[in-house]
A and B are shown apart, each in its own frame.
Chain A
């Protein structure tokens, strides 16, 4: 059987900026309260046009679970690792809290969790995947912005979406090979 490679495909045109994904993530993963404590987020893009013809887009995001993650390269104690399925994780027992990974990540995907005393990040809810469930942010979204699945399965929903639609990844020029895909 082929190894799994997890990815999330996002259709940002569906996002209504309700931030249910952030709330669900915080509840599922014990992310502390606070403005700069989050594993995922919704960025509000600038307003377009002139009143009364206005438009605005929202850009939900999280760790890109890169194939070539800079956060993994810079970690001095190998606390950061890549699990089966391509998910980038942090081993809290090895993390020294130097925060170099926070600086190396071009997506601002990592934060310092003051409750655990180590760096924390999105793991696609690895604990849910283990029992056959999908990530909390995917499950909770009322407009189904995110689709989660295995890209190595050609019949998975994510594979089909990427086959049928044009898409982009964030900062491709950095060579990180992200696995968060944005439909265009």
Chain B
């Protein structure tokens, strides 16, 4: 069992997460009592809100974590074996949080049984649900194999998990990409773009966890820990660089030629109702500052963690903007409730509380597992940090 230094902040952390969960449960109960129409700000024009964005954010983070961890126990890069257990555990919890978000967004979640009884194989959502459902099972077995040091099983499930980590986000991207009626989403771009963002989310999340699991437990980072954080920082830097190009071309393609239905959402991102989210959330916080931090020669684990945290916040904005922007262009002339010719959406208090609850759930269960199970490898020997080097 890990040697965890009891800190006064620990109790506060559990209270905070517990409070978030209670608030989210209350919001979810309220939404089922009064109906989603009353509790959520989704409308006929914008039927998918922040809960779907959160689902995408968490599900994609899961795939990214899996891809990064596979570098260690599937592709044999020794340095990354350090992160495998934590990455797979986080992947499981992110996916459970994602299922929570989408489950609470569904009006009749219990009718999900009909995905088995009368499946529609031409539905991208059916494929997404099925792939992520099986994927969760694979991840649970993979985590068991890693915890019991069953290398053969972890290799098999890790390889399977890797394939699912590629397939799942691209299928998720296809949910948006196959929507012919929505030019902002439609096309082959989203399935590929989402895969890139999965790597950003996964790398950023595991970098943060690697930093905090040392800093908060008062453990000193050895050379191996520093090296893996440095490598994660490099991967994140590369993926952010690729992502900047993806975002750039997505915007240019949208603006060029002013194609109706594609142009307006992009215009809303660049200079309309979503511009603060786009420029501040996505570009500055999510891409430029993290890239700047990661390009510095003398970067420390702390600055890598900061870059990761900011990239992760940027990722959330990216999911939100992608989800909302695709819907704001009305499908017919004369639609009511438009502002400057477009629908608007901002999440309700209930929606925000449920989002916080889903993230808090993942964080709480992770902290509990970290507290009561040893996620360190046998080969790791940590020493307590002295005050001046922690």
Contacts and interface: CB of A to CB of B under 8 A. Distances in A.
Q: Do A and B come from one complex?
A: yes
B111 A78 contact: no
Contact of A61 (B118, B180, B332, B337): B332
Contact of A78 (B48, B119, B180): B119
B45 A99 contact: no
Interface residues of A, number: 39
B123 A70 contact: no
Contact of B175 (A44, A93, A100, A107): A100
Interface string B108-127: 11011011011110111110
B332 A73 contact: no
A23 interface: no
A180 to B, nearest CB: 12
Contacts of A104: 179-181
A96 interface: yes
B330 interface: yes
Interface in A66-112: 70, 73-79, 93-100, 102-108, 111-112
A114 B330 contact: no
Given A77-B120, A79-B114, A108-B332, 8 more contacts: A35-B337, A43-B335, A45-B334, A74-B178, A96-B109, A99-B107, A104-B180, A114-B35
Interface of A: 35-37, 41, 43-45, 59, 61, 70, 73-79, 93-100, 102-108, 111-112, 114, 117-118, 174-175
A94 to B, nearest CB: 4
B181 A96 contact: no
B45 A76 contact: no
Nearest to A93: B111
Interface in B320-364: 326-327, 330-337
A106 B327 CA distance: 11
Contacts of B118: 77-78, 94
A118 to B, nearest CB: 7
Contacts of B122: 73-74
Interface residues of B, number: 45
A83 to B, nearest CB: 15
B102 to A, nearest CB: 8
A108 B36 CA distance: 20
Contact of A103 (B43, B106, B109, B181): B181
What secondary structure prevails in chain B residues at the interface with A?
loop
B44 interface: yes
Interface in B138-186: 175, 178-182
27 contacts: A35-B336, A36-B43, A36-B45, A37-B44, A43-B333, A45-B334, A59-B333, A73-B120, A73-B123, A79-B114, A94-B111, A94-B118, A96-B107, A97-B36, A98-B125, A99-B48, A102-B47, A103-B48, A103-B181, A108-B44, A112-B107, A114-B35, A114-B37, A117-B107, A117-B108, A174-B180, A175-B180
B72 interface: no
B129 interface: yes
Nearest to A173: B180
A110 to B, nearest CB: 8
A118 B37 CA distance: 11
B44 A95 contact: no
Contacts of A43: 332-335
Interface string B27-50: 000000001111000111101100
A103 B179 contact: yes
A112 to B, nearest CB: 7
> Looking at B109, B112, B125, B330, which has the most chain A CB atoms within 10 Å of its CB?
B125
Given A76-B115, A78-B118, A95 B108 contact: yes
B371 to A, nearest CB: 36
B331 A105 contact: yes
